[in-house]
């Protein structure tokens, strides 16, 4: 089975969906539902972010806006590192989480989640990646996500895991053939 993916831009959709959910799964579902209602074609949407145990799950669903609505990645990292200043290394557990919602038919929604556990570094290292990659060290790694090659990263990343689950479901189900 071959699936051709189209971006919102390719479909002429410029509308943004307000992320009012309380979880990554809820926000992914909100976006998929809205874009499906506009496009009327099978739709995939995601939401992802960083959760830090010592910060009671923050930045969480506000990861992209942690330091404010128009904050840059650098500002978000700076705020997080500042808040972690007095947290010992052994208490810096964190995880990247990605939820992907797929809608093939109305009221037929499936959500897949990917997660990579790790910890927050005491400072930034690495130039690859974006967001919080330069301060996140995956478990069983000495390097930050920003130091990994793209191939290494996709094998362990939260998005890679969620996308593989989504792809496997689409490949193994007959859901697309039913519609």
Active site residue 46: no
> From the CB of residue 50, how many other CB atoms can be counted at a distance below 10 Å?
27
H helix or E strand, kind and range, residue 161: helix 158-172
Q: Is 111 helix (H, G, I), strand (E, B) or coil?
A: strand
Q: What torsion, rounded to 10 degrees, do the Cα atoms 123, 126, 128, 129 define?
A: -10
Q: Which of 154, 152, 150, 144 shows the shortest CA–CA distance to 123?
A: 144
Dihedral of the alpha carbons of 76, 32, 21, 75, in degrees to the nearest 10: 10
Set 46, 47, 73, 78: catalytic member: 47
d(CA 46, CA 10): 18
Please check whether residue 51 is in contact with residue 23, taking contact to mean a CB–CB distance below 8 angstroms. Answer: no
Hey, which residues are catalytic here? 47
């Amino acid at each position: 089975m071959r699936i051709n993916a189209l971006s919102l831009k390719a479909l002429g959709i410029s509308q943004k969906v307000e992320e009012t959910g309380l979880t990554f799964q809820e926000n992914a579902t909100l976006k998929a539902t809205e874009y499906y209602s506009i496009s009327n074609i099978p739709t995939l949407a995601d939401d992802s972010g960083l959760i830090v145990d010592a910060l009671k799950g923050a930045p969480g669903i506000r990861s992209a806006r942690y330091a404010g609505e128009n904050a840059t990645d650098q500002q978000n990292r700076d705020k997080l590192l500042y808040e972690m200043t007095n947290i010992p290394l052994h208490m810096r557990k964190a995880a990247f989480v990605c939820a992907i919602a797929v809608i093939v038919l109305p009221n037929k929604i499936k959500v897949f989640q990917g997660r990579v556990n790790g910890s927050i570094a005491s400072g930034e290292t690495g130039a690859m990646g974006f967001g919080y990659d330069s301060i996140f060290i995956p478990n069983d790694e000495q390097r930050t996500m920003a130091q990994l090659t793209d191939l290494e990263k996709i094998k362990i990343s939260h998005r890679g895991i969620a996308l593989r689950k989504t792809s496997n479901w689409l490949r193994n189900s007959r859901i697309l053939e039913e519609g």
